[in-house]
A and B are shown apart, each in its own frame.
Chain A
Amino acid sequence: MSSGRTLLDIVGLTKSFGGLVAVNGLSFNVKEREVVGVIGPNGSGKTTVLNLISGAFRPTSGSIHLSGQDITRKPAHHIARTGVARTFQLVRVLPGLSVSDNVMAGAVFGRRRLWRQQARSHAQSLIERVGLHDKHRLPVSSLTYIDQKRVELARALAGDPQILLLDEWLAGLNPSELQTGISLIQSLSEEGRTIVLVEHVMDAIRTLCDRCIVMNSGQLLAEGSPDAVLSDPAVITAYLGDD
């Protein structure tokens, strides 16, 4: 559990697509070095929240501050440079580039803005960090699914973000890969990274998260430690329905 300063501060965040309100007046914050899980039933607006933070969508109303800087309606590239990095729900690697260049993309254009040898060696250290030691020269299209996810993670880390957003990074992994994945994220957390993760894998939530935000129909349903929220009757009802 962490009691550092507030890194991400979200107030009254709302996003509507035409008549559909995907996120409705959501407020929460994330402290430095904290791992926060965003959970909730399908369609409750979790991914939309990540998209709003990373600048993929612009909020209809509300505000988002990162370390005191207003990033509410800034373009995605600006938010990335301010220090938000993310992975995508459906893994998005750069298929025409090598593993090394994929990760360099984060190092070159992210918050650190490294170039040439510095960027390359920074990328190399992260490739090793996520466990792709001998694969840095391969085209990413030849990698397995979990390795592509590792590339995406390394690319996000390469920008040296203040906060890392993981959108179902563990989805689609088999049981043994899942254990590997969970310990990888755990080790990032132990390094002192601040992480917000959208996740359906409850084991991961229990193991990784200091705190959970539970969403339902775009609104905040519950907030607290994983064990507390997962035994909250309102949360159980939202997931399973009445009776």
Chain B
Amino acid sequence: MTPEDTRNILIGIVCVAIAACVPLVFNGYWLSVALTAMMYIALSTSWALFSGPTHYISLASGAFFGIGGYLVATGMSDYNLSFWLMMAVSAVVATVFAGLIGMATLRLSGVYFVIFTLGLAEMIRNMVSWLQNNVLGSRGLYVLTDFTEAHIYWMLLTVSVAVFILGALIARSRLGFAMRIIGNDETVARHVGINTARAKVLLFMTTGFFAAIVGAIIAPRYSYIEPNLVFSPELSFLVVIMALLGGMHRLWGPLLGVIPFTLIWEAISIWIPNFTTLFLGLAFLTIVYFLPNGVVGLLEKLRGGATP
């Protein structure tokens, strides 16, 4: 380990320790904001593990998140299964599902992949809604647990830490190096001997896995689950925009996007709730025009370092 690695690990430990204390200091409204932020930290960071190096913008986060939330709700409400079991089941289902989508679509390039993932997420939402209403009977699904907001927050913190550790390990591995090459030039990647499809599918599955876990953990917060709530297209867009705002070429980039964005989003939802969609659009434009490399890119520019 280089001195830099040691420094980063120490900074990481301090950040996690501070984050872990949040529920001890805050409760009520601010804890709930922190919980939302923690959810997006896990989602955006894991999303960027795949989309950062490949530049494939996936709008399927909502689908995987929904699988997590919905399976936990169905399992607990209809079959009396335990929360933990359903969380594990949903993670497996989402990972397998992501693998299938990956194998089918990752040869699509650029905009086709974006549209496909968006369409796919919408299709799943409608299918589950239809099943719920016509086959399973339109009963509500309740997720009743003893978890407090603090518990949910700590669980999400654990997931976020896992995402960061995994991300750091991948960055040092052959897989991480392969992804950087793929992001630069996929043709070269294939011709130096990288199985590009396998590498991309693996990371896409990782993204699906974490989104489902987060969806499962969040389910008890909602208590009452219906498909349109958990298979939310808005969530997919928020995950993307926060990662873009932070910057996707560093592991800790999305973190720097999630925190400011969550705060602004909360403020707007309270002050001018009818304008959230407008804000989302404006934020997209602003980021694309003024912060193409996100907050991280801006910081690196200010420090005089070159952005890769």
Contact = CB atoms under 8 A, between A and B. Distances in A.
Contacts, number: 74
Given A94-B181, A108-B174, A77 B188 contact: no
Contacts of B189: 77, 105
B191 A86 contact: yes
Contact of B187 (A56, A75, A105): A56
A114 B206 CA distance: 26
Nearest to B53: A96
B183 interface: yes
A37 interface: no
A64 to B, nearest CB: 15
Nearest to A106: B192
A12 interface: no
Nearest to B308: A96
Interface string B161-189: 00000000000001001101101110111
A80 B184 contact: no
Contact of A105 (B192, B196, B308): B192
Contacts of B191: 54-56, 76-77, 80, 85-86
A80 B183 contact: no
A97 B181 contact: yes
B229 interface: no
Contacts of B192: 80, 85, 105-106, 108-110, 155, 159
Nearest to A110: B193
B306 interface: yes
12 contacts: A56-B190, A76-B191, A77-B196, A80-B192, A85-B192, A93-B188, A95-B185, A105-B181, A109-B181, A109-B194, A110-B193, A113-B193
* 6 tightest Cβ-Cβ pairs between the two chains A and B: A80-B193, A109-B193, A94-B184, A76-B190, A81-B193, A109-B192
